[in-house]
Structures are given as C-alpha cells and as structure tokens.
Amino acid sequence: MERGASNATAGLEVGELRRAVTRGELVAYYQPEYDLTTGRPVVLEALCRWVHPDRGLILPDSFIPIAERSGLIADLGRAILEQSGRRAAEWHQRGLRVGIAVNISPSQLTPAFAEAVLEIVHGLGLPRWTVTAEITETPALLESCDEYRALAALIDGGVGISIDDFGAGTTSVEGLRRMPFTEVKIDRSLMRDRRAEADDLVAECVEIARAQSAIVVAEGVETADDLERARRWGCDRAQGYYFSPAVAAEELEPLLQPA
C-alpha cells in the first residue's frame, strides 16, 4: 500500500464521488514503465487517486466499482485522460518525450467514447502513439461489435490499445487472438506464479503479441529476480514496485530526460 493511502470503502457515496469529479479531487498518480533495452522510463501509467478532504488519499479499488455502478465512470475517465493528456503535452513541449497510459473500464467502451478520446488527444496536439488506453478483456468485450469497432477506431487514430491484466480473471489466449491491440500487459499474478504452466502461458501470449507486432509489458516486478524473469519471458518493458510505485507527477519529473 502507498504511503498514506487507504482502501476503506465504508460510507463512500455516489453523491460524494460526483462532487469529487466536479471539484477536481480525482488526481492522476503516475507509475513508470521501463524499457528493458535502454533502462529508461518510456510510459507513465495514470492511476486515479481520490484526494478526499477528510479521509486523505483513497485508492481506486474503493471507488472505481461505485463509479461503474453509478455511470460516473465516463466522467472519471475523461477527467483522468484530460489531466494526464495535459501533463504529457506540457512535458512534450519541454522536450521530455514520454508516453502516457490511461485505464478504461470495459463499460466505457463505445464508438462515441473512442471519438471523444481522439478529440481530446488530437486537441492537445499529442503525437500519434503518445497515449495508450489500457483495457481488461472480458467475455462481453469479445461478443460486441461496437466495442471491437471502438478499439479499432482508437488504433486507427493513433491511440495504442493495451490488453491489461493478461493471465488474471477472465482473460484468455483466445481473447488475445481475437482482439485488436498494440500492447499486452502480463498480470502480476503470473509473476507471482512460479510454476512452469505460468511460463508456458506467457510464452503463448508473447508469441501472439509478436505476430501482431505488439509490445509486451511485465507488471508487478517487485524484485531483481522478477526483473530477470521478465527478461527471460522476452518482455519489452517492465513495471512494478522494484522501479517505483505510482507517485505524484512532480515527484516523477526528475526521472524524465530530454529525448
């Protein structure tokens, strides 16, 4: 758990969350992904924090489900995309070239949503492939033509699509074969799983990704051993507490170097 962060859901209400969105209490923290060849941070994943006036910093697992149930997830997603997009534009203007990644709930994914994302990204003047949308595969996602079209439209517009949490929950090799994507993130549960089956699943995933010229990112890298395993798997990038937790933008800026 991050310093001063809390996971307490008790008493959190929809009305309070709605006010938080309009008052700007939802803040993007950033966790770097490191390129395993150059050793440099190349992408910053925006992870939402609620800076609550009384409760302090609240982690997303406590309020994303409320946002999803109440339909506030679209406003939340937009707020985080605008915030992190503005940061990226500012960094780019100062010659600090770094990509950003935002998390998208499957329930948000419609062609209209894809259009809105592209409008924000292009409006900020961000170069193609600066922004990646991370989404977890769900069975519903694979069934729906609308959602498939939305993914394809984002890629067409230069927004990367990352299949998040591969190997956790409902994700499958079959899903990976059927979805358009530019990146896949291997879930930290596979990093924790030391059985040969985990290595086999990752090998299959890497093979499918390579066939699509997609990037492979290892999540949950906590130790030097984990990093070594990510290299053995053939990952392009790694992310995890070994490098850095998610931190405020100001804390991270010194890590960014001019391109």
Residues forming contacts to ligand C2E in the complex (CB under 6 A) are 31, 47-48, 59-61, 64, 73, 77, 80, 103-105, 134, 164-165, 188, 220-222, 240-241, 245-246
Chosen residue from 137, 165, 226, 236 binding Ca ion by CB under 5 A: 165
CA gap 212, 177 in Å, rounded? 9
Closest by Cα among 48, 62, 51, 71 to 10: 62
CA gap 46, 97 in Å, rounded? 16
CA gap 104, 98 in Å, rounded? 20
CA gap 52, 49 in Å, rounded? 9
CB 219 within 8 A of CB 33: no
Nearer to ligand C2E, 104 or 214 (CB): 104
Closest by Cα among 66, 29, 33, 73 to 51: 29
For residue 105, the partner it binds in ligand C2E, Ca ion, none, with Cβ less than 5 to 8 A by kind, is ligand C2E
Nearer to ligand C2E, 73 or 198 (CB): 73
CB 110 within 8 A of CB 152: no
134 in contact with Ca ion (CB under 5 A): yes
CA gap 137, 242 in Å, rounded? 26
Please list the helix, strand and coil fractions of the chain in percent, rounded to the nearest 5, in that order: 45, 20, 30
Q: Which residue has the tokens 């290299």?
A: 231
**In the bound complex, what is the minimum distance in angstroms from residue 188's beta carbon to ligand C2E?**
6
Other C-beta atoms within 10 Å of 124: how many?
A: 18
With CB atoms as reference, the residue minimizing the distance to ligand C2E is 240
Applying CB under 5 A, the span of 8-16, 134-142, 148-156, 229-237 interacting with Ca ion comes to: 134-142
For residue 60, the partner it binds in Ca ion, ligand C2E, none, with Cβ less than 5 to 8 A by kind, is ligand C2E
Chosen residue from 164, 183, 226, 236 binding Ca ion by CB under 5 A: 164
For residue 85, the partner it binds in Ca ion, ligand C2E, none, with Cβ less than 5 to 8 A by kind, is none
226 in contact with Ca ion (CB under 5 A): no
Nearer to ligand C2E, 49 or 206 (CB): 49
Nearer to ligand C2E, 43 or 48 (CB): 48
**In the bound complex, what is the minimum distance in angstroms from residue 67's beta carbon to ligand C2E?**
7
For residue 163, the partner it binds in ligand C2E, Ca ion, none, with Cβ less than 5 to 8 A by kind, is none
Phi, psi of 247 (to 5 degrees): -135, 170
